[in-house]
Amino acid sequence: MARRTPPTPEEVERRRAEVKRTEHELEDAKLAYYNSAEYMEKPVDYERLKEFAEAFIAANHELQKALYGRVRIRLDVSRLLRE
């Protein structure tokens, strides 16, 4: 089996920035959902909130794969929305 090439520091930073961006979007969408407000000019229902959570999970898993070669901590939509 061929060895995996380690990611460049720029790639890791880009993925960290993506995780941070999606995390902020999820938190803002959760606030809008709980306050029955709009976010990004659209009302936030459960399905839209779930899309934000799934985007955060995908970004987080990509970062973990880049850093460790595998996903060490699996995230779940229901647990993210519970916090």
Confidence of residue 2 (pLDDT cuts 50, 70, 90): low
Statement: residue 29 has pLDDT above 70? yes
Q: What are the φ/ψ torsions at residue 52 (nearest 5 degrees)? A: -65, -40
Q: What is the pLDDT of residues 37-73, one digit of tens each?
A: 999 999 999 999 999 999 999 999 999 999 988 888 8
The H-assigned helical ranges of 1-83 are: 9-34, 46-68, 77-82
Q: Note the pLDDT of residue 1.
A: 60
How does the average pLDDT of the chain come out, rounded? 92
Mean pLDDT computed over 14-38: 96
Q: Global pTM?
A: 0.89
Q: Which two tokens stand for residue 83?
A: 């916090």
Every domain of the chain and the residues it spans: 9-82
